[in-house]
Amino acid sequence: MNRIALSAVAALMTMAAFAQSIAVVDMEAVLAKHPNTPNDKKLLESTLADYTKERDALRAALEAKQADLEKQMQEAQNPMLAPAKAEELRKACQAAFEGIENDRRAAEAQMAERSRTLSEMERKLIKRSTDEIQAHIDAYAKEKGYDLVVYKNMVAYVRPEQDITDRIIVLCGGVPDKKDTSKSAKELKAPERMK
């Protein structure tokens, strides 16, 4: 019985010692507060706006060509036209239709490429910031003697003093959110009645 108790105490002491060397960090919060993030967001939004204008211009050009084609098709169906002229217009309509389809495919390919470019740009911007954040986490963990730093969303509970998110935000040059230290109404006791 004593061996079991001693083993349990030793295991608890080992776990307690190990728990002291674990920290957590909320990467989403650090990335959101990173100094690069506002400019990166503006760059992505500006690029998306440019691509949207380009897409809208391509769409408008295709719609205009489609409207012209519909007019040509109506002209080609005019019963008053000479058969040779009607055939010429039908061939012109067919060529215009094929041209529009080629333009449509080219526009779709161009917009797909723009989408890939935007995704790649976003990935590179995030990677640049997360690499910097990771370097700060590594340095801070070594300085403070942490054996393990895990992402906060991977754990159900952590003591507040083991959450190093705000410290990493500051090391990256960001400003952490102000902590609300006011107590909620549930935590406040009603004043005692005076007798």
Q: Judge whether 167 and 146 are in contact, CB under 8 Å.
A: no
Task: Kindly calculate the radius of gyration of the chain based on its CA atoms and give it in whole angstroms.
Answer: 33
Average pLDDT, the chain: 86
**Per-residue confidence at 20, pLDDT binned at 50, 70, 90?**
low
Tokens 């054996």 belong to residue: 147
The pLDDT value recorded for residue 16 is 52
Among candidate residues 104, 96, 98, the one with its CA nearest the CA of residue 76: 96
pLDDT tens profile 149-160: 999 988 888 888
**Per-residue confidence at 12, pLDDT binned at 50, 70, 90?**
very low
Please determine, for residue 5, whether its predicted confidence score (pLDDT) is greater than 50.
yes
The answer to whether the predicted template modeling score (pTM) of the entire model surpasses 0.85 is no
pLDDT tens profile 119-162: 999 999 999 999 999 999 999 999 999 999 999 988 888 888 89
pLDDT tens profile 56-107: 999 999 999 999 999 988 988 888 888 888 889 899 999 999 999 999 999 9
